[in-house]
Amino acid sequence: MEQAVASCHDTISIVKKKIEDAYNELSSLEIPQEGDFSLFRQMQDLKHRVTEEIGFNKYNLQLAENALLKAMQQLKTANIEHEKFKYLETTEIEKVLKAQKLKEAKDLDEVALMMFNRKNND
């Protein structure tokens, strides 16, 4: 579970870096002021591609953040279950020890009673 959380954090960092790089690339693009229309069209296509890449990475970021939330919830649930198990195990051990002490006390009482009866019969 902890590995899943760490993996999600890594994925989020990578995707955020990709988004940042794409924004930097987009801001560095300059529309040609003169020249062939095909050059202008290529730049527009490039801007469109980078914009789509940003959208795709934002979607992936949302997926990674959702996966992180899910992994964190699963980790929390697993930790709660572990603590619950430890508590129940401790409680069960205490019950067994208490029952054992009670049995020992009864056995000692029985032995004492037998010795008392033997002493009184003698």
Residues 16 and 60 sit within 8 Å (Cβ to Cβ): no
More confident residue, 22 or 1: 22
The band of 55, judged by pLDDT with boundaries at 50, 70 and 90, is: very high
Separation in Å, CA 22 to CA 9, 30, 48, 56: 20, 14, 11, 11
User: What residue has token string 């992994």?
Assistant: 71
Residues 74 and 1 sit within 8 Å (Cβ to Cβ): yes
pLDDT-above-90 percentage for the chain = 68
The band of 120, judged by pLDDT with boundaries at 50, 70 and 90, is: confident
Q: What six digits make up the tokens of 39? A: 């050059």
pLDDT at 66: 96
Please state the domain extents for the chain.
Answer: 2-121
pLDDT at 82: 95
